[in-house]
């Protein structure tokens, strides 16, 4: 039996009639068409499907769409606001933190959750925050540099 759910994705309200076994990941990718959220392993190990649920990173491959009823979801498509990139997105571009790009959406969302909670993270805290997002290309070095740089950007902008 299908379930009627109401949820907000990137600030937009949706009312959807879904099968209970539909994964949030598939809802986002196929029902809504937000393909920025990627499927990497289907077992919650790689983090390519990371989205923010009420501001906190979760793996959307291990969450049913029905569980998201009455919740706020942020996907990579909602990270830039009013056509303006988030400082993390800018920093990922500037510091060369992107290679094949498949892990990038999930990585950015985990990093965003970190910076939202901790404006001045140490390198070890960054590593812990993104440890659920696997990247096979970059060796993480430039990703960490980018997150540090974004934290500084945000601080500078807040001071202005």
Footprint (CB under 8 A) of other proteins, residues 4-63: 19-21, 23, 29-30, 34-48, 50, 53, 56-59, 62-63
Binding of other proteins by 149 (CB under 8 A): no
H-run or E-run covering 89: helix 87-94
Q: Which is nearer to other proteins, 14 or 132 (CB)?
A: 132
Residues 66-85 as x/- pattern, contact with other proteins by CB under 8 A: xx-x-----xxx-xx----x
CB within 8 Å of 144: residues ≥ 6 apart: 123, 126, 127, 130
* 124 close to 64: Cβ distance less than 8 angstroms: no
User: Is the C-alpha dihedral spanning 60, 61, 66, 67 positive or negative?
Assistant: negative
Contacts with other proteins: how many residues (CB under 8 A)?
76
Q: Which is nearer to other proteins, 100 or 155 (CB)?
A: 100
Shortest approach of other proteins to residue 159 CB, angstroms?
Answer: 24
Distance CA 47, CA 11 (A): 22
Q: Which is nearer to other proteins, 142 or 151 (CB)?
A: 142
């Amino acid at each position: 039996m299908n379930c009627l759910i109401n949820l907000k994705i990137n600030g937009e309200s949706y009312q959807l009639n879904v099968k209970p076994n539909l994964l949030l990941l598939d809802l986002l990718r196929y029902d809504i068409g937000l393909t920025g959220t990627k499927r990497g392993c289907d077992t919650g190990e790689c983090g390519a499907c990371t989205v923010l649920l009420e501001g906190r990173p979760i793996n959307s491959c291990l969450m049913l769409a029905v569980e998201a009823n009455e919740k706020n979801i942020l996907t990579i498509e909602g990270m830039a606001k009013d056509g303006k990139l988030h400082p993390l997105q800018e920093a990922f571009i500037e510091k060369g933190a992107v290679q094949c790009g498949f892990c990038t959406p999930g990585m950015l969302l985990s990093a965003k959750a970190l910076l939202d909670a901790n404006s001045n993270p140490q390198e070890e805290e960054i590593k812990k925050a993104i440890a659920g997002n696997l990247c096979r290309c970059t060796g993480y070095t430039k990703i960490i540099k980018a997150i540090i740089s974004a934290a500084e950007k945000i601080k500078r902008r807040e001071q202005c």
